Amino acid sequence: MEEENGSLVVRVGGGIIKYSITAQDGTTRTLVKGSAISLGTGDKVQVEFSGFGAEAAASAWLNPGDVSLGSTRLVAGAGSVEGVVSDSVGAGDRRIAVATESEDGAPVVVAYGVKLVEDDSSGTSWSVLLLVIVGLAVVGGLLIPAARRRRDEDEA
């Protein structure tokens, strides 16, 4: 495995597989050999193939769960597959698995480990919600006894 312009490159079966990730905001993620790759909902995964079977089928998916990132028929042994990580994929450890055939027809399957993370910007933070609840309880604890004392004094 090698690094090339922010992508990871795997040479296998006489061909080259190149992984690239584009974040949901459009920025290209720099992938570093040996470093964990984190994916989030909406991130785009691109896998490029070259040097494989002339008209071999090529596909990519997230495992476990067999979530397809796409498939294609290679032209002259080259092509690419691109897919977006959907919100139906839960957080956790996964693999980007790719499959195609070498020039001599032998199957080529490569998997690279990734971590799917929860989107930090989705919804209200639990800590903010807890702070609001505690704040309301404190305000209620101060106002209710004061209102009862005034009512008791008025009745007396």
Phi-psi region of 9 (alpha: psi -120 to 50; beta: other; left: phi over 0): beta
Count of domains observed in the chain? 2
**More confident of the two residues 110 and 24:** 110
Tens digit of each residue's pLDDT (9 = 90 or more) over 102-145: 999 999 999 888 888 875 544 444 455 555 665 556 555 655 66
Task: Specify the CATH number for the domain of residue 21.
Answer: 2.20.130
Q: pTM of the full predicted structure?
A: 0.70
Contact 107, 98 (CB under 8 A): no
User: Do 106 and 144 fall into the same domain?
Assistant: no
User: Do 89 and 147 fall into the same domain?
Assistant: no
Show the beta-strand stretches assigned E in 23-153: 28-29, 38-39, 44-50, 57-63, 67-73, 79-84, 92-101, 107-116
User: Do 66 and 131 fall into the same domain?
Assistant: no
Q: Which domain holds residue 156?
A: 124-156
Contact 28, 20 (CB under 8 A): yes
Look at residue 80 and tell me whether its pLDDT is greater than 70: yes
